């Protein structure tokens, strides 16, 4: 029976307006939620448990405020919730080293995560952690089946590909066909009482450091037209002015 | 940060032309790069032999490159690449590879770079609602968005070194599922035309397809369209919970421009918006905005494209 870990991250609500204060993003007024793709990962992890047995542990790295998303995961049905204490910002090398230690410590055989976090949009964590563990990985997965070993579908160049993935493995999940379950009352009550397992892991120093954050440069006003007939002129300009046809 | 390496963006064992943009990006980060071409047939590297801006050209030949497997590609490439800062494209597959190689070498990785200034690289964060600049303090791996850097030109003379390599392929392909249509995927196309709920019904997407076929575009959709109509699959969705696209030209039809959608397409080079509501937020981001219904504008657009392309 597999020991399953799902990585979850706290990010600003994707509908939130992002404000800049000085040289950095100011998130003090923003509602924080579980990164949307992590919900698909969580759903896949729970489906895996339902098909093959075992236990699911939700794991996050962050400060005490990140425990809210762990409670959300507990309410949806995970067995254990673990937070690795962290306050500093880490580059990918430092973060993935911490995650590798944590996953090894939990004795996991399969790890699910979102295809990217809604804040960075990078998608580095899944494949990076897999490499550090020496495990196989599959990314941007849109469906998974668990009968006779793990098999997943993800988009390749030219069409979708169904892959058989040997365990241990890290699988990053896209929206695809996953329908995320809702927490029920019993789950919510259990989550309230659940204790978070807080652990400390030493991170190596970061060499890539954030210099500043800013709002994207405003786009100069474009040309505007009234009425469908203008489409002919726009088509012409796309070739003669923009040079994109 | 002097040594740089570019991993060529590949498509069916041929070098994708956008690789010339990656070479230019690597030159901005340091010295002229070593271009490494992952291939099953070393002839694939020949198309870069005449490029300027390359210090050496390696055809990394392996059966591991037949199908994409992150572990297999990373191990096979690691064996042939010198140390230094590594540049890849920011396609979904290459971002995955970039992360895997960075981890293999214990380097940090920065994805989706759109600006390089010395050792400082800038990429969009919070779905493009902010930009973040990171200083690279040592060798790193960066993936670079397409259609941002001007490609290096012809004019070089590079001889191809063929290096055989092997990779530890972990996954195995069970089945290739060809797309239902021959049409390009939004994440691969240089032109994307997308429809929103303003299209009225999924059947009307046939009008977008007609335009797409005329100009060689992929057809996308807003989240509202995907959520409303079952006939519009999630694979077409552009935006925060769909695909991020960065084409030369993005045409938004009947899309209001919700923050979710903008997140997936705002960095397109040129944006055309067609919407009947003059106050739709999409117009703030459009280079060419047409206030009209799709019924009024699309036939005119299609006819003009046809006469231009014909």
DSSP-assigned letter for residue A244 = -
Å from B159 to nearest chain A CA?
29
A66 occurs within a structural domain:
yes
- Asked if the Cβ–Cβ distance from A244 to B269 is below 8 Å, we say yes
Torsion of CA A70, A75, A173, A95, to 10 degrees: 10
What's the CATH code of the domain at B52?
A: 3.40.50.620
* Mean pLDDT score across all residues of chain A: 95
Q: Which domain holds residue A71?
A: 3-199
Nearest CA in chain B to A90: B108
Query: Residues A38-49: pLDDT tens digits?
Result: 999 999 999 999
Query: Looking at chain A from residue 31 to 50, which residues have their Cβ under 8 Å from any Cβ of chain B?
Result: 36-37
Q: What's the pLDDT score for residue B65? A: 97
Q: Is the same domain home to B25 and B160?
A: yes
- Tell me how far apart the alpha carbons of residues B132 and B142 are, in angstroms, rounded to a whole number: 14
Q: What is the pLDDT of residues B173-192, one digit of tens each?
A: 999 987 666 678 898 889 99
Chain B residues whose CB is inside 8 A of the A96 CB are 103
Q: What is the pLDDT of residues B204-240, one digit of tens each?
A: 999 999 999 999 999 999 999 999 999 999 989 999 8
Closest chain A CA to residue B216: A245
Structure tokens at B245: 């696209």
- CATH number, position B254: 3.40.50.1220
Q: Decide if B123 contacts B113 (C-beta within 8 A).
A: yes
Counting the structural domains of chain B, the total is: 2
- The Cα-based distances of B248 to A242, B153, B171, B274 in angstroms read 9, 19, 34, 17
pLDDT in the model for residue B242: 87
Note which residues in 185-244 of chain A have CB less than 8 A from chain B. 206-216, 219, 222-232, 234-239, 242, 244
| Mean pLDDT, rounded, for A68-81 | 97
Per-residue confidence at B12, pLDDT binned at 50, 70, 90?
confident
Tens of pLDDT along A196-206?
999 999 999 99
A contacts of B104 (beta carbons < 8 Å): 131
The partner residue sitting opposite A222, judged by closest CB among B101, B263, B288, is B288
Pair B20, B120 in one domain: yes
Residue B86 pLDDT exceeds 90: yes
- The whole domain housing B93 covers 4-164
pLDDT of residue B260: 87
B65 domain-assigned: yes
The pLDDT of residue B183: 75
Q: How confident is the model at residue A159 (pLDDT cuts 50, 70, 90)?
A: confident
Let me know the angle formed at the C-alpha of B156 by B152 and B161, rounded to the nearest 5 degrees. Answer: 105
Query: What is the Cα–Cα distance from A136 to A143, expressed in whole angstroms?
Result: 17
Domain assignment of residue B32, yes or no: yes
Q: Do A234 and B134 touch (CB under 8 A)?
A: no
Count structural domains, chain A: 1
Q: Over the stretch B19-53, which tens digit does the pLDDT of each residue have?
A: 999 999 999 999 999 999 999 999 999 999 999 99
A156 contact B CB<8A: yes
Among A9, A115, A122, A129, most B C-beta atoms within 10 A, so best to mutate, is: A122
Q: Are A232 and B301 a contacting pair at CB < 8 A?
A: yes
Q: Report which of B141, B80, B82 is spatially closest to residue A96, judged by C-alpha positions.
A: B141
What is the per-residue pLDDT for B182? Answer: 66
Beta bridge partners of A7: A59
- Report the CATH number at residue A16: 3.40.50.620
- Is pLDDT at B1 greater than 70 in this prediction? no
Taking contacts as CB-CB distances below 8 angstroms, the residues of chain A near B96 are: 123, 126-127, 137, 139-140
CA distance A124 to chain B (A): 5
């Amino acid at each position: 029976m597999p020991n399953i870990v799902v990585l979850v991250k706290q990010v600003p609500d994707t509908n939130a307006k992002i404000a800049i204060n000085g040289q950095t993003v100011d998130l003090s007024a923003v509602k924080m939620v579980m990164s949307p793709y992590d919900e698909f990962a969580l759903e896949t992890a729970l489906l895996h448990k339902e098909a093959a047995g075992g236990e699911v542990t939700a794991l996050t790295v962050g400060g005490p405020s990140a425990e809210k998303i762990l409670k959300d995961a507990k309410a949806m049905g995970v067995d254990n919730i673990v937070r690795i204490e962290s306050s500093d910002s880490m580059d990918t090398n430092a973060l993935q080293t911490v995650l590798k230690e944590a996953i090894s410590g939990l004795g996991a055989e399969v790890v699910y995560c979102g295809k990217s976090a809604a804040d960075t949009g990078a998608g580095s964590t899944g494949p990076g952690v897999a490499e550090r563990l020496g495990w196989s990985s599959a990314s941007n997965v849109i469906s998974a089946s668990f009968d006779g070993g793990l098999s997943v579908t993800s988009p390749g160049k030219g069409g979708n590909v169904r892959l058989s993935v040997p365990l241990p493995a890290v699988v990053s999940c896209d929206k695809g066909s996953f329908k995320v379950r809702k927490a029920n009352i019993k789950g919510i009550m259990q989550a309230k009482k659940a204790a978070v397992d807080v652990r400390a892991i030493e991170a190596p120093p970061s060499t890539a450091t954030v210099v500043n954050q800013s709002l994207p440069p405003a786009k100069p006003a474009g040309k505007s037209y009234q009425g469908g007939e203008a489409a002919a002129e726009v088509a012409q300009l796309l070739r003669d002015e923009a040079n994109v046809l | 940060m002097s040594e740089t390496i570019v991993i060529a963006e590949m498509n069916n064992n041929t070098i994708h032309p956008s690789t010339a943009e990656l070479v230019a990006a690597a030159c901005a980060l340091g010295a002229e790069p070593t271009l490494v071409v992952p291939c099953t047939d070393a002839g694939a590297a020949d198309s870069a032999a005449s490029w300027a801006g390359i210090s050496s050209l390696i055809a990394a030949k392996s059966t591991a490159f037949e199908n994409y497997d992150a572990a297999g590609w990373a191990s096979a490439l690691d064996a042939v690449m010198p140390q230094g800062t590594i540049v890849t494209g920011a396609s979904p597959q290459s971002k995955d590879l970039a992360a895997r190689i960075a981890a293999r070498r214990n380097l940090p990785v920065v994805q989706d770079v759109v600006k390089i200034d010395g050792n400082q690289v800038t990429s969009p964060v919070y779905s493009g609602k902010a930009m973040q600049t990171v200083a690279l303090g040592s060798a790193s791996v960066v993936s670079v968005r397409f259609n941002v850097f001007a490609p290096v030109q012809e004019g070089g003379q590079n001889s191809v070194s063929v290096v055989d390599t092997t990779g530890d392929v972990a996954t195995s392909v069970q089945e290739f599922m060809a797309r239902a249509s021959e049409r390009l995927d939004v994440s691969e196309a240089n032109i994307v035309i997308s429809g929103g709920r303003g299209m009225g019904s999924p059947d009307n997407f046939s009008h977008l397809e007609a335009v797409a076929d005329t100009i060689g575009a992929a057809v996308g959709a807003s989240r509202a369209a995907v959520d409303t109509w079952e006939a519009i699959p999630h694979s077409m969705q552009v935006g925060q919970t769909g695909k991020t696209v960065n084409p030369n030209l993005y045409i938004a039809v009947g899309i209001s421009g919700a923050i979710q959608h903008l997140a997936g397409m705002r960095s397109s080079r040129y944006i055309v918006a067609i919407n009947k509501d003059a106050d739709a937020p999409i117009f703030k981001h459009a280079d060419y905005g047409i206030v009209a219904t799709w019924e009024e504008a699309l036939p005119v657009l299609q006819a003009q494209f046809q006469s231009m392309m014909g």
